[in-house]
Amino acid sequence: MRQVRIGAGAGYSGDRIEPAVELAERGRLDYLVFECLAERTIALAQQARRRDPRLGYDPLLAARMRAVLPACRRAGTVIITNMGAANPLAAAELVCATARDLGLRGYKVAAVTGDDVAASVGDGHGRILEDGRPAAALGASLISANAYLGAEPIVQALSAGADLVITGRAADPSLFLGPLVHEFGWSFEDWPRLGQATLIGHVLECAGQVTGGYFADPGFKTVPGLARLGFPLAEVGEDGSAIITKVEGSGGCVTSATCKEQILYEIHDPAAYFTPDVVADFSQVRVEQVGQDQVRISGASGRARPEALKVSLGVAEGFVGEGQISYAGSGARDRAELAAAIVRERLELTGLMAQELRFDLIGIDALHGHGLPAGGGERAEPYEVRLRVAGRTASMDEAVRIGSEVETLYTNGPAGGGGVTKQVREVLGVLSTLLPRERVQPSIHMLES
C-alpha cells in the first residue's frame, strides 16, 4: 500500500529548529509541516504589521527556512506552514528571497490569504461566543480577526505545483490533512477519512509533545534524551492508517502513552472535535504499540463539517505592570510580606488606577494561594522568597508605576532585598465568534525564486 511520510517541524512559534533539520535530512519525508501559530500569536503579528507593513509573519521564518530548505529541496520534501501569520504574502516573498540566497532557483511558494476577516467583524457580523455581545461592539479594541481556514486552499496550492505553502490562520490539523487529501485524492466529503486524517494532524501538530516533551515526569514517566528530542513523523496509508514514529537515534520516545496524552490534548468532546474540514470523532480511536518508537493510531471517523467558521479575535485589554524582588535568609518570608504590605499601601496612597492587582510570594502562594505545604500543616518558612507585584491598568503610564514602587523597596523597604526586575507589557485578550463560510474567501498567490 502506498504511503506518505509527513513530519512535524515545530509545535509553536519559538520551538527548536534542530529537530526539524534532523527530519529534513534523515526523515525521508514527503512533507514537513511547521505549526507555529497560537491564538495570541496572530494578534501580536497584526500589531507588528501595523507598525511596519513589511512585517507580521513569524520572526523565525527566515532562520527556519535557511536551515531546512537545502535538505528539503534535495529530498523533494514539500513544506507547509502557518508562519505567514498576519502577512502570508510578505512571508512568501521572504522565503523566495531566502531560496535565491541559497542558490535555489525555480522554487515555487504559494501564499494563502483570506483568513483576515476584520472587515466583516467590524461590519457587525457575528456575536462573541464568550458573552453574546455583537463582535462589532469591540470597536477600536479589536486588534485582529482571523478565521480558521481548512485544508482546501492548501490542496489547491499543492495541485498548482507549490514546493512550499505558507498560510495565515489555518486550523492546526488542516496543515497535515491538506497534503494527505492531495496525495490520495480523497473527497472533501469523505468524512470518515477526513476524521482519521484530522486525528493524525492533531497527534503531530504539537511536535515534541508526542515524542516525550510535556510528558516526562521523573520517577513516573521516563523519557530519554530530552535535550536532543526528536520530532515525530507519520507513515500514512491511502486508507488513512498511520504509524507514528521518529528518526532513529533521535532523543525522546514514541509510545502508546505519549500518543494517548496528545490525542486528549485540547479536546473538549472526543466525539465531536470541530474543525473547518470535518467534525471529527475520536471516541473509538485505537492506539497500539507495534514496535520500538512505533505506534499505530486508527479508528477515528467524522461527520459533515460545520456551516460556520470559527474566528479568533485579538482584543486590546490594557497593560500589565510588574515588579519583583527577592529576600533570603532568616525571616525571608516575614520581610517579603512586609514589602508586599508597603507596596500595597503605597499604590493606594498614590491613587493607582488598576482593574486588577495581585501580590504573590513565588514558591509559596503564587499558584494556589494557600501558603501551606501540600496536605496542609504549619506555615512554610522558606530560606528564600521572591515577591511579585502585578497589576492590570488601562494605560502604560499607570502600569509603569507598579514596578517602580517595587524598585523603591531597595532603600525604602525591609532589609536585604535584591534582584529587582520590572516590566510592562500590553495585554492581548482572545475572544471568538463565528462567520458563515461564504463570507470567508481564501486566495492563492504563487511566487517563484
pLDDT, mean of residues 126-141: 89
C-alpha cell at 304: 459533515
**Burial of 316 from C-beta contacts in 10 A (0-12 / 13-18 / 19+):** middle
Say how many residues make up the chain. 449
Q: Output the average pLDDT for the chain.
A: 95
* 88-101 and 61-75 helices, crossing angle to 10°: 60
pLDDT tens figures, 63-83:
999 999 999 999 999 999 999
C-alpha to C-alpha distance for 435 and 115, rounded to whole angstroms: 11
Contact 314, 427 (CB under 8 A): no
Asked if the model's pLDDT at residue 420 lies above 90, the reply is: yes
Which pLDDT value is given to residue 123? 76
Asked if the model's pLDDT at residue 292 lies above 80, the reply is: yes
Asked if the model's pLDDT at residue 374 lies above 80, the reply is: no
Q: For every residue of the chain, which 3-state class applies, written as one string?
A: CCEEEEEEEECCCCCCCHHHHHHHHHCCCCEEEECCCCHHHHHHHHHHHHHCCCCCCCCCHHHHHHHHHHHHHHHCCEEEECCCCCCHHHHHHHHHHHHHHCCCCCCEEEEEECCECHHHHHCCCCECCCCCCEHHHHHHHEEEEEECECCHHHHHHHHCCCCEEEECCECCCHHHHHHHHHHHCCCCCCHHHHHHHHHHHHHHCCHHHHCCCCCCECCCECCCCHHHECCEEEEEECCCCEEEEECCCCECCCCHHHHHHHHHCCCCCCCCEECCCCEEECCCCEEEEEECCEEEEECCEEECCCCEEEEEEEEEEEEEEEEEEEEECCCHHHHHHHHHHHHHHHHHHCCCCCCEEEEEEECCCCCCCCCCCCCCCCCCCCCEEEEEEEEEECCHHHHHHHHHHHHCHHHHCCCCCEEEEEEEEEEEEEEEEEEEHHHCCCEEEEEEC
Which pLDDT value is given to residue 379? 63
pLDDT, mean of residues 238-259: 97
- The pLDDT confidence band at residue 121, using thresholds 50, 70 and 90, is confident
pTM exceeds 0.85, yes or no: yes
Task: Give percent above pLDDT 70 in the chain.
Answer: 97
C-alpha cell at 382: 522558606
pLDDT tens figures, 12-69:
999 999 999 999 999 999 999 999 998 888 888 988 898 899 999 999 999 999 999 9
Which pLDDT value is given to residue 136? 85
User: What's the Cα-to-Cα distance from 274 to each of 34, 48, 164, 249, 250, rounded to whole Å?
Assistant: 21, 30, 27, 36, 34
- The pLDDT confidence band at residue 413, using thresholds 50, 70 and 90, is very high
Asked if the model's pLDDT at residue 380 lies above 90, the reply is: no
Structural domains of the chain sorted by starting position, each given as residue range(s) with its CATH number in brackets? 3-114+149-306 (no CATH), 313-430 (3.30.70.100)
Task: Give percent above pLDDT 90 in the chain.
Answer: 87
Which pLDDT value is given to residue 358? 95
Query: 62-71, 126-135, 368-377 — which is least confidently predicted?
Result: 368-377
Top-confidence residue, 125 or 414 = 414
Which pLDDT value is given to residue 370? 58
